[in-house]
Amino acid sequence: MDDVGRISSKSAVILDARTGETLFDKEADKPRQPASTIKVLTGMIALKRLQAHEPVEVSPHAESMPRSKIYLNARKQYKADDLINAVLLSSANDASVALAEKIAGSEEDFANLMTLHATLWGARNTVCRTASGLTASGQQSTARDLAEIFRHAMQDREFARRMRERLLSTSDGKPLRNHNKALWQVDGAIGGKTGYTSQARQTYVGQFERDGDSIVIAIMGSESMWNDIRRLVDYGFEKKERGRMAQLAKQQQAKALKVQ
């Protein structure tokens, strides 16, 4: 507990990925700017609403998004599948807005759709104002909400498959590198989404599996994201192991009492 107590994140939570049980929390219900972690909603909604080869036009508004982006051209069309991968792996703001406008007609209307989906998935303190997670007045989420959203999304096989990919290419050969370094730096990582803005600081949500256990962690307001992630992941699995050992001890004690 001492080690996890030194995390830099202002908010954090660890959930059992299967049951939703809280294994650790630090201001887990405090609303904060989510940054690009909110793109989990953008990508998941697009996966359900669009066909892989469906053409997506790019508006000047989408094209003008700041980095992180894949530099879409408003004079071209792109396959939905490529843009979804760009959102989930490379955290592309321009692709997020292009998908939002394709699905809902405007980024504002799509943000309302994101908020609705978040609520349906148990994230009741999440309000979306953008498809990208760029800082916006009134936009908010919590560490617990982000973990619940990701826990729900990872139950979708297609979403989970994409989140495991370290490197993909678009139809025209543009490389899309996954920003989630945990995939090759943290034992048991199976998917995650990073985020950063100057107001949100570093944010992250991801799922990890070890020895048959599965946990979801979410952090917000971090100054040392990868160190925080490692500490939280190790703590989460250690707590699961302690719980198993305690349960086994109870069972053995119960058997001993029966014998007597």
For residue 2, what pLDDT band results from cuts at 50, 70 and 90?
Answer: low
Residue 120 has pLDDT above 80, yes or no: yes
pLDDT tens column, 42-77: 999 999 999 999 999 999 999 999 999 999 999 999
Q: What is the model's pTM?
A: 0.94
Q: Chain-wide mean pLDDT for the chain?
A: 95
For residue 207, what pLDDT band results from cuts at 50, 70 and 90?
Answer: very high
Which DSSP string corresponds to the chain? -TTGGG---SEEEEEETTT--EEEEESTT--B--GGGGHHHHHHHHHHHS-TT-EEE--HHHHTPPSS-----TTSEEEHHHHHHHHHTT--HHHHHHHHHHHHSSHHHHHHHHHHHHHHTT-TT-B-S-SS----TT-BB-HHHHHHHHHHHTTSHHHHHHHH-SEEE-TT--EEE-S-THHHHSTTEEEEEEEEETTTEEEEEEEEEETTEEEEEEEEEESSHHHHHHHHHHHHHHHHHHHHHHHHHHHHHHHHHHH-
Residue 171 has pLDDT above 90, yes or no: yes
CATH classification number, 4-259, choose in 3.40.710.10, 3.40.50.920, 1.10.10.410, 2.60.40.1180: 3.40.710.10
For residue 260, what pLDDT band results from cuts at 50, 70 and 90?
Answer: low
Residue 224 has pLDDT above 60, yes or no: yes
Q: Can you give the residue ranges of every domain in the chain?
A: 4-259
CB 123 within 8 A of CB 37: no
Note the pLDDT of residue 164. Answer: 97
